[in-house]
Amino acid sequence: MSLINMAKREINCKIVYYGIGLCGKTTNLHYIHQAVNPQDVGEMVSIDTETERTLYFDLLPLELGKVHGFNIRFQLYTVPGQVLYQQTRISVLKGADCVIFVADSQASKLQENIESWNELQEQLRRMNKDVTDFPLVMQWNKRDLHEILPVSVLEQYLNQYRVPSFAAVAVTGQGVIESLRMGINSTLRRLERI
């Protein structure tokens, strides 16, 4: 849920990148941090384990100007994808205004992607979010690798709600800004309805 600070005339929105371990969530944030105008973005905070996987979250404040006299600020988070960090994923997901689900396109990762997607849906339901009306974006990452599934197969198994989706290669930036832009626009449209 967006936080509105009337005194500062500021609206803070939260976008969470969700998916399995090493699917490219943190790579998305690194690319965005480098691509965005330095005056519009804050410092990126990353807490990694020895294997360089995100242990808790990445936070990337992103200033987007004003809407109805309010400064709009987006904070981008990633969740740890490893199975043992489920409680941390739940904590990071709380208060999310939008989720960008990053799926690893490799055929060998389909079952893990399905389990992660099912977990996300369950957590959103527990937070009383209507999955069919909540701002969601699907990102089919790692499209540059061998032995990847066709996008149509990923859509079939992971996008039954037909939310916006983008093919991506996070390390080169392909599909990264497009996914973020859709997440931001979906969040802003939902804010206007509230």
CATH number assigned to the domain comprising residue 186? 3.40.50.300
DSSP strand E in the chain: where? 3-5, 10-18, 45-48, 54-67, 70-78, 98-104, 136-141, 165-167
Domain count across the chain: 1
Q: What is the pLDDT of residues 159-177, one digit of tens each?
A: 999 999 999 999 999 999 9
Return the half-sphere exposure (C-beta side, CA atoms, 13 A cut-off) of residue 55.
8
Q: Which amino acid is at 6?
A: M
Q: How confident is the model at residue 181 (pLDDT cuts 50, 70, 90)?
A: very high
In terms of residue numbers, what domain contains 143?
A: 3-193
Dig out the tokens for 28 from the structure: 């998305």
Dig out the tokens for 140 from the structure: 């089919």
Q: How far is CA 161 from the centre of its chain?
A: 17
| pLDDT value at residue 156 | 98
Q: What is the pLDDT of residues 21-39, one digit of tens each?
A: 999 999 999 999 889 888 7
What is the model's pTM?
A: 0.93
